Structures are given as structure tokens and as C-alpha cells.
Amino acid sequence: MQCRTDCGACCIAVSIGQPFYGMPLGKLAGVPCVHLSPAMRCELHGDERRPALCKAFAPEREYCGDNREEALKRLTKLEAQSMPDGVFWSVNL
């Protein structure tokens, strides 16, 4: 599956707990990455400064669904499920 045009769900829904270029404190779930372009594309794609988590993420229907809204819901749910009990490092979408 190819990344969907005008989506950016993975650059919004997912938290990044490690500091990375441009976001020295990491990124909260639900907060757009500073490297998400107005066209909803990662401006660090192919750049060595791109976080390892992002490099490892590949678009798949299971995560991305059939549209942007579905991708945001699925990734937000997976983010919450991956956190220890009682912890969800997020901003409401």
C-alpha cells in the first residue's frame, strides 16, 4: 500500500517518546509533527534525521483503513492500546 495523498494520520495520531530533530521533547499523540507539510506529507522522509519509529512504519490497510479519518481513529486506538495501563500521552483529536 502507498501512503494516501493528503493524509498525515501517522504524523498526528502517534506519539514519539524520544527527542528528535525539531522536537526535542518528542511528540504527543494527537499533535501534528512539526515536519508535517501543509500537503500532509513528511518533510523528513528520506532524511537521516527522521525518527526510527517513523522509518519503521509502513502504510498498511490494517492501520490506515480506507480514508484519513479511519486512519486517525485506528492509529489513535492502537496508540492507546500500546500504552501502559492508565497512561495515554495524548492531546484529544
- Strand intervals (E) in the chain: none
Q: Which of 29, 30, 33 is nearest to 42 (CA)?
A: 33
Q: Give the whole-angstrom CA distance, residue 35 versus residue 23.
A: 9
Asked whether the beta carbons of 35 and 12 are under 8 A apart, the reply is: no
Asked whether the beta carbons of 28 and 90 are under 8 A apart, the reply is: yes
C-alpha cell at 74: 485506528
Q: Give the whole-angstrom CA distance, residue 84 versus residue 44.
A: 29
- What are the sequence ranges of the domains in the chain? 10-82
pLDDT in tens, 41-73: 999 999 999 999 999 989 999 999 999 999 999
pLDDT of residue 80: 86
pLDDT of residue 16: 94
pTM of the model: 0.84
